[in-house]
Amino acid sequence: MKYIKLFILIASVSLFAACSDDSLDSKSIFDTQNKEEQNDFDKWLKTNYVDTYNIRFNYRYSDKETNNTYNLAPADFNKSKALAIMVKHIWLDAYKEVMGDQFLKNYSPRVMQLVGSAAYDSQSSIVMGTAEGGLKVTLYNVNIIDVDNPIIDSENPFVDKKKGTNDLNYWFFHTMNHEFCHILTQKKNYSTEFQTVSAGKYQTSGWVNVEDKDAPSMGFVSGYASGEYNEDFAEIFAQYVTHSEAAWQKILRAGIVYETDENGEYVLDADGNPIVKDASGYKAIIQKFNILKEYFANTWGMDITKLREVILRRTAEVKAMDLETLK
């Protein structure tokens, strides 16, 4: 089975991704007769995840459902409940609002597994999350969530990962949209024209040394996007739908390199504007984005700008939400 791993290196940032073509079926694959005693949260999950979206949401720690090569801790019950409420509101219900009732029930991952702690691999790397063949997503570090003051930053596309962050957009929502994009492109292919835009610039292993803030000048929306074209596609989608227009424009501006003098100051033209040295990164991102946008519109009937509007509205609503009470 192939794995998708997202992880932060102690000295640099790393993000793995690989997906397989496992088929999805709208028919429930779960035995709804849970052998454990059902609490109110379990009953809420059955109604709001299993019955509505055909997703099993596992918050209890299970050796069978987690990677035993890591030293892991269970997810806190209240933080798990808060994340379940947020995921439903920001991710699941956003797609339902835009695409209708059946869309996610047909195409979403079938299992979501929560783990409380971060996972450290043999290289002292922190694993953010794993996704197995589009069928199961494991989210780590759930216990960083501040139930009273959850941080979801839609304005900053260049998180300084070396310093660490409690941004739930970075840890969870970007990741989930990235992986969901893979599921959709596995079901229906996108234009091979996309592969040609940055051909020759992808770095199979060297992407780990590309800072997110430097990636746009190379034609990529993140360092991870520079690894290969499938990840490039999914990163553009995830960056766009989880960030504001101002944040997106910040990425695009970073794709333009300007002339500077010996002091690092911009060299200005006769009208006082910075002189552009290289805009190829900006142009590449725009070209790839247009291909992606057309793919979702023509293949799935999805307006990704509308989707972003809904996701951002729902994200803003979290601040006023009660993340402790099940409704």
Give me the residue label for tokens 């299993």: 50
- pLDDT of res. 197: 97
pTM of the model: 0.84
User: For 323, what's the count of Cα atoms within 13 Å in the CB-facing half-sphere?
Assistant: 24
- pLDDT of res. 82: 96
- pLDDT of res. 294: 98
Cα separations in angstroms, 34 against 31, 43, 134, 178: 7, 10, 24, 31
Residues of the chain with pLDDT under 70: 1-36, 63-71, 119-133
- pLDDT of res. 124: 53
β-strand partners of 120: 126
Cα–Cα distance for residue pair 42/80, rounded to 1 Å:
11
What does the angle CA 174 – CA 243 – CA 204 come to, to the nearest 5 degrees? 50
- pLDDT of res. 220: 98
Residue 287 burial (10 A CB sphere; 0-12, 13-18, 19+) = middle
- pLDDT of res. 128: 59
Cα–Cα distance for residue pair 147/306, rounded to 1 Å:
28
Helical (H) or strand (E) element with 171: none
The beta strand positions in 26-120, using DSSP E, are 56-58, 111-114, 119-120
**Which amino acid, one-letter code, is at 92?**
L
- pLDDT of res. 208: 82
DSSP assignment of 54-66: --EEE-S--GGGS
- pLDDT of res. 309: 98
Helical (H) or strand (E) element with 227: none
- pLDDT of res. 17: 40
Q: What is the pLDDT of residues 8-43, one digit of tens each?
A: 443 343 443 444 444 455 444 344 445 568 899 999
Max alpha carbon distance in the chain (Å)? 75
The beta strand positions in 215-270, using DSSP E, are 257-258
Cα–Cα distance for residue pair 165/154, rounded to 1 Å:
13
For the domain 3-320, what is the CATH code? 3.40.390.70
Cα separations in angstroms, 222 against 40, 166, 180: 40, 19, 18
